[in-house]
A and B are shown apart, each in its own frame.
Chain A
Amino acid sequence: MNEKAMRSQRKWQTIIWVAIIIVFTYLASDITNFNIIHGIATLPNAITWIFSNLYITPETLERLPKILEKLAETILMSIAATTTATVFSLFLGLMGSKTTGTSSVLGVFARLVASVARNIPVVAWALILLLSFGQNSMTGYLALFVGSLGFLTRAFIETIDEASHSAVEALRATGSTYFQIVFKAVIPQCLPQMISWILFMIETNIRSATLVGILTGTGIGYSFDLYYKTLNYNAVALVTFAIVISVIIIELMSNRIRKVIL
């Protein structure tokens, strides 16, 4: 096939793909009665509303200390949920990985726990746990814990599987015990990746904590919900702003840490 034929084939491929996407979009919006044109047309109105209501006034700044207190509560809860989940995930990860797994039963168990915990969204966990633990920070903590456990176990299993198998073989050949191999060969190799996943989890948890907080009535999510329902939109703006700033700061910090360790 010469260059010309290949180009024209590429061109047709592109055209066909674009056509397929357009047809699917049309069908999907038709079935759900969603009008794209209408949706786009209301955008200016929505933006106008946001700018005329969601702004921070000097009076609302008085509420700042209280909001910051709630924000700190949320961030600390996220960190606590992540760190405790890390400890359990580490063991589940070691059980689930092919490199370090000792028995297939434990491996299946670890993967099952990870899959159940991860495939039910954190919000759903919060609602499920709400029934047994009631509206308090314990519920929020547990919901984040379960979500993190699932995600981190999955991530750790993959990290350990990807880490080179060679050093494990070498240590096995020297007559090392299982835990010596885990602590001297597996963890040193996986540590940067693991820390990176833990930082990512903390970021994600701070974001989800806001949503979980709305449901469980704790932390910054509760403040958001309260001001929103009392139509205090200026305070809502302040809360949103505080969340955005803190997430950005945490992200910058963890990017910095990643750069240093990797």
Chain B
Amino acid sequence: MTLVEVRNLGKSYNAQTRVLKDVSFDVEAGEFVSIIGLSGAGKSTLLRCINRMVEIDEGKVIFDGHDVGSLNKKELRKMRTNIGMIFQHYNLVPRLSVIENVLHGRLGYKTTLQGVFNRFTELEKEQAFYLLEKLGIADHAYKRCDQLSGGQQQRVGIARSLIQEPKVVLCDEPIASLDPNSSEVIMDYLKSITKELNIACIVNLHQVEIACSYSDRIIGLSKGNVVFDGPSFMLTSAHTDEIYGTKTVEARKLVSV
């Protein structure tokens, strides 16, 4: 089933530079897709067009049958409850506890007052603890988020997105600020939730090797254009040269580290 359809998407922040040019692809449920490319290639913008955190200029994004660009404020909020998002810098509220941050994922399902006064149901709380248990950080539930390590904070971020019961999880450089061990843990979790819950996972990465080993499919972006779209085993060094604009083997190695 096609969950996300991106059709001829274009985006420009100012008149001179077009960040995205005519980008088209589909993502199915249960698919793990990596988007690779240089910094500034438009990866983050592409991801944020899917849940319209940035406005769509040209083309269309269709999520689960809804044209994302034409939704009004209320419909947009409702749509966003079905899209989880994970960030490079975790984007938690550092002074609040882990469990509070996880429950923030439910705010989209609440009225303003229910949200402001923390009226979460027992079921939601149990679900939050279940997710923390699953991600191995249940012991830290009542700790403040700024006392956790980077890897643990990112797991809180994952829990926050999963409690939304999302159909798609968008991950913007989820491991860019983590050490190799934590990175592996986070990527393993992302991979397993994609399969277990049969959701789509779209991950921005700049490590080609990690992208190849985890994802079913890779989309290569260069200067706002899709220059590669296919299963990860089909990605050759010729493609990475095009994506990263490098010619020499040494330079490519530097990029892919």
Chain A residues positioned under 8 Å from B107 (CB to CB): 171, 174-177, 180, 184
B95: contacting residue among A172, A177, A189, CB under 8 A: A189
Interface centre among B92, B107, B110 (most CB of A within 10 A): B107
CB distance from A42 to the nearest CB of B (A): 54
B80 near A173 with CB under 8 A, answer: yes
B108 near A174 with CB under 8 A, answer: yes
B95 near A171 with CB under 8 A, answer: no
CB distance from A247 to the nearest CB of B (A): 30
Chain A residues positioned under 8 Å from B89 (CB to CB): 166
B80 near A174 with CB under 8 A, answer: yes
Assuming the contacts A166-B87, A171-B107, asked whether A176 and B78 have C-beta atoms less than 8 A apart, the reply is no
Name which residue of chain B comes closest to A169, CB basis.
B91
A183: contacting residue among B78, B116, B160, CB under 8 A: B116
Chain A residues positioned under 8 Å from B51 (CB to CB): 173
B160 near A170 with CB under 8 A, answer: yes
Q: Is A179 an interface residue (CB 8 A)?
A: yes
A177: contacting residue among B104, B105, B112, CB under 8 A: B112
Question: How far is A71 from B164 in the complex, measured between Cα atoms in Å?
Answer: 55
Contact with B along A182-215 (1 / 0, CB 8 A): 0111001101100000000000000000000000
A167: contacting residue among B85, B92, B111, CB under 8 A: B92
Chain B residues positioned under 8 Å from A174 (CB to CB): 80-81, 84-85, 104-108, 160-161, 164
Chain A residues positioned under 8 Å from B78 (CB to CB): 175
Residues of chain A having any CB pair with chain B under 8 Å? 164, 166-167, 169-180, 183-185, 188-189, 191-192
Can you offer 8 A-B residue contacts whose CB atoms are under 8 A?
Answer: A170-B92, A172-B80, A175-B76, A175-B80, A175-B107, A177-B112, A189-B95, A191-B95
